Amino acid sequence: MFIVCRVLILALVLLLPTVRQAQAHGGVAFEDDLCVINIGFLKAHFTIYQPQHSGSEEFCEDIPAVSDTMFVMEYQHDFLRQMPVDFRIIRDEQDFGIYARWEDVQTIPDLDAVTAFYQPAVVRPEGSFTANYRFDAPGTYIGIVTAKHPEDDRVYNAVFYFQVGGADYGSLPLFAVLALCLQAAYWVGSGGLKRWRERR
């Protein structure tokens, strides 16, 4: 029992710095406590809002409710201000999951058939891109951002998996087991085990 607890505590100590990064998937990551989307080598601050459900609370990827949802990208590269950028949400019917990549998206025979939302490409010289969509069902989805070079045929993509509705427990089970281990260690250390044996 205590060997298992020691292993779990060691694992928690080693994983704690990466817990938050692990909660972001694919083209979205945490940098300096901000949610950042990587569109090729280009970056934008990425935020999701559900005003009717959560007010001004910000989300990075997973969304708690089936509700009106606003996706906001604030460009961190001036070059993005010159590029037409589009945004698509598809249902993850192929179960690509958190490791979804652009190469996976390209294998879908009919992208329109699995598309829940599409916002056509638009140039945002002010550097802020927004898209609004009302989800009508919980589930798993993949967001796709595409930016096209203004002068040639180069295209940059970001692909990220996210969940709408439902619980995402993340590292909670690990913390629960750790709490049980600490409680057991306290019980043994305070003589609880010895008293229990004496009563038998």
Tell me what the pLDDT averaged over the chain comes to.
81
Torsion-angle region of 55 (φ positive above 0: left; ψ -120 to 50: alpha; else: beta): left
Q: Cα(first)–Cα(last) distance of the chain, in Å?
A: 21
Give the separation between CA 138 and CA 73, rounded to whole angstroms: 23
With pLDDT > 90 as the criterion, what percentage of the chain qualifies? Answer: 60
**H runs (alpha helix) in the chain:** 2-22, 51-54, 102-105, 172-189, 192-199
For 145-195, write each residue's pLDDT tens digit. Answer: 999 999 999 999 999 999 999 644 444 445 555 556 556 666 566 665 566
Beta strands, E only, the chain: 28-31, 34-39, 42-49, 68-75, 84-91, 115-123, 128-134, 139-148, 155-164
pLDDT at 114 > cutoff 70: yes
pLDDT band at 54 (very low <50, low <70, confident <90, very high): confident
pLDDT (0 to 100) of residue 60: 86
Q: Which of 1-15, 88-102, 150-164 has the lowest mean pLDDT?
A: 1-15
Higher pLDDT among residues 13 and 102, named by residue: 102
Q: For the purposes of burial, counting CB atoms within 10 Å of the CB of 44, is it exposed (0-12), middle (13-18) or buried (19 or more)?
A: buried
- Quote the longest CA-to-CA distance of the chain: 83
- Report pTM: 0.69
Higher pLDDT, 14 or 149: 149
Is residue 119's pLDDT more than 90? yes
Cα–Cα distance between 159 and 29 in angstroms, integer?
Answer: 12
Percent of the chain with pLDDT over 70: 66
For residue 61, the model assigns a pLDDT of: 78
The pLDDT tens digits of the residues spanning 22-50 come to 344 556 766 655 899 999 999 999 999 99
Which residues 6+ apart lie within 8 Å of 13 measured at CB? none
Residue 20 has pLDDT above 70, yes or no: no
Q: Which domains does the chain have, with CATH numbers?
A: 1-23+172-200 (no CATH), 24-169 (2.60.40.10)
